[in-house]
Amino acid sequence: MDLLLQNWPLILALLGVGGVAGLTAGLFGIGGGAVMVPALLYAFSALGVPGNIVMHCAVATSAAVIILNAARSTRAHHAKGAVDMSLVWPWPKWWQSYGLWIGVGSFAAAIWIAPRLSSAALTQLFALVAVIVALQFIFGRPNFVFRDRVPRGPAPILAGGSVGILSSLMGIGGGSLSVPLLTLCGMPIHRAIGTAATFGLFIAVPATVGFILSGLNVPGRPFGSLGYVNGLGFALITLAAWPLVPVGVKLAHRLDATLLRRIFGICLALVALNMLRKTGVF
């Protein structure tokens, strides 16, 4: 109880982050990681988590939360017929599944690539990709189409694996990467968001398992951690995010989200640039 009383500002902050993360998970199909990772990074830094693992803990905890966010978002979008299962898991041609290769890339990144990167390198990677994503949110043309259908053949391995690797290293649900890719290939925005939410499950589950395994016995992790995944952050953010995911889904299907996307993009860009500043990039 004393520990909870001493950390009540942190607890309130994590609850607030969870609420925003849940809303964005449903509204944009992004899993909430773009909100959670910077907040967890600052929270864990304030708690004194060593700088060499603080970003690993933030990314891993975000990935764990995204499991539940993505599951709830997927269920809500699937109920509206907005998930393209022929991309997620085609049968019997399972080897052409985007979900499969996204999951393979996600696990490889968490178990093998992330432990070999410094916390500063992970932070810089997150921030650089976040800036690109933010620019797409701000300036992207939702009606621009590069081709009329999502490619098959080697594309699931190459594109899916790349989305899985980057998303796992960033602790995001992949929607901020896969939604633009899907819409560029002619998929309607609402269907792209629903399908991206499902991809989030194939990212978050392998990533969480990988970060748990790769973080076992690493010194300096915050209290209540299993591997790199912190239980307190997971519990508080999940508690706040869970009821707001379907609210975001309803807004996504009712509103013209152009203005909201631009506002979100500006905020994300500012956060990312601040993270780059703190790592000494400029």
pLDDT, average across residues 93-108: 94
CB 54 within 8 A of CB 279: no
pLDDT at 1: 57
- Asked whether residue 3 is assigned to any structural domain, the reply reads no
For residue 34, the enclosing domain spans 9-278
Residue 216 falls inside a structural domain: yes
What's the pLDDT tens digit per position in 159-184?
Answer: 999 999 999 999 988 777 888 888 88
For residue 221, tell me if it sits in a domain: yes
Position 244 in a domain: yes
**What is the predicted pLDDT for the residue at 257?**
60
- Read off the pLDDT of residues 61-85 as tens digits, 9 standing for 90 and up: 999 998 987 888 888 888 888 899 9
pLDDT for 270: 84
pLDDT score of 55: 95
**Residue 1 within a domain:** no
Backbone Cα Rg of the chain: 18
Mean pLDDT of the region 192-197: 88
In a domain, 251, yes or no: yes
Q: 2 in a domain, yes or no? A: no
Quote the pLDDT of residue 143: 66
User: Is 62 contained in some domain?
Assistant: yes
Query: Which class for 146: exposed (0-12), middle (13-18), buried (19 or more C-beta within 10 A)?
Result: exposed
Identify the pLDDT of residue 105.
97
**How many domains does the chain fold into?**
1
Q: Tell me the mean pLDDT in the region 42-60.
A: 90
The pLDDT of 10-25, averaged and rounded, is 79
pTM: 0.85
